Amino acid sequence: MNRPAIEVVGLTKTFRRTAALCGVSFSVPAGTVCGLLGHNGAGKTTTINILSTLIRPDSGRAVVAGYDVVDQPAQVRASISMAGQFTAIDPLLTGRENLVLFGRLRGLHRRQAKARAAELIEQFDLGDAADRQVSTYSGGMRRRVDLASALVVPSKVLFLDEPTTGLDPRSRRDVWALVSSLARQDVAVLLTTQYLEEADVLSDSIVVIDHGRVIASGTAEDLKRRVGSSYCQVTPANPADLPQVAAALAGFDGVDVDADTNSVSVLAPHGVATLGEVFRYVDALGIELVDISLRKPSLDEVFLHLTEPTVAQS
């Protein structure tokens, strides 16, 4: 295992009388992607603000790229990059001009900034658009320039906050490929996202925060095994039959209707036996099915399983 690029031990932070973090601990090895997941207000942003030296913790310790965030903030800032949910690039400048500008702001000489911009344009496949104004770019292209600008000075740690919000599926997958390539270059990536499929695809490890506490951590497969039960998924041939299928399966646990995939899922604690029971209920309807199958829980279902009990208590 690589040496941790991010190491967090017992972080706490309170704003007035509200406890934002209550002893948060986790680590992220160099060259890996860690998905930091949680509901809005769970403590994700506070954690990243501490790790990027924007605020100080009340107690605990955080080390980023080998530097303590409280005792060595300047060294931490020199070792990290950040790409937020909203692009920070100037739409009136070209992609190349933006990259040169960010290079100059990060202390590069003009010649160095131009050379680095050319490298990033090639790496992020922006050659055809590099000398056009960013205002003419698609959302996916803007996000690529934004990520490139965050890396104009190579960093050891990259914080990504909702990197694909608002992007179409093709652009989202392009960004996924870029993030994966960064991990292969030994950059540690801490990713926050509301798209749990994104966390499932990209993350080597996942940390789930709820009400300021880490309630689960591990790989996506580890977390899926914690849920235990498989799911039975039924997909009718005609989307108009979806409500009828959902009504027929209303007596099962964990009923979930997904209009995007035109399917109804239920918990299958007894595996094939539950599948057979579901099939009998649906067969009695006399409707045509595209598919009926057992599957592992998705990360969305894992997240709901992990967080619903604490939500219910609040």
Tell me the pLDDT tens digit for each residue of 140-191.
888 888 888 888 888 899 998 888 877 778 777 888 888 888 888 889 999 9
CATH of the domain at 271: 3.30.70
In a domain, 118, yes or no: yes
pLDDT tens-digit profile of 44-66? 999 999 999 999 999 999 999 99
Asked if 96 and 82 touch (Cβ cutoff 8 Å), the reply is no
Whether residue 170 is found in the same domain as residue 277: no
Of 212, 178, 172, give the one whose Cα is nearest residue 196.
Answer: 172
Give the model's pLDDT for residue 173: 83
The count of domains in the chain is: 2
CATH number at residue 41: 3.40.50.300
284-287: which pairs have CB atoms within 8 A and are 24 or more residues apart?
Answer: 284/248, 285/241, 285/244, 285/245, 285/248, 287/236, 287/237, 287/238, 287/241, 287/244, 287/245
Task: Decide if 282 contacts 248 (C-beta within 8 A).
Answer: yes
How far apart are the C-alpha atoms of 30 and 89, rounded to whole Å?
A: 27
Q: In the sheet where 157-161 sits, what is the strand order?
A: 80-83, 157-161, 188-192, 33-37, 205-210, 213-218
Indicate the residue among 183, 208, 224 that finishes a domain: 224
Q: Is the pLDDT of residue 204 over 90?
A: yes
Residue of 176, 209, 180, 214 whose CA lies nearest to 195:
176
Q: Which domain holds residue 258?
A: 229-296
Question: Are 264 and 128 found together in one domain?
Answer: no
* pTM summary value: 0.77
Pairwise CA distance, residues 301 & 205, whole Å? 17
Residues 163 and 108 in one domain: yes
Domain shared by 17 and 136, yes or no: yes
Domain closes at, from 224, 245, 260: 224
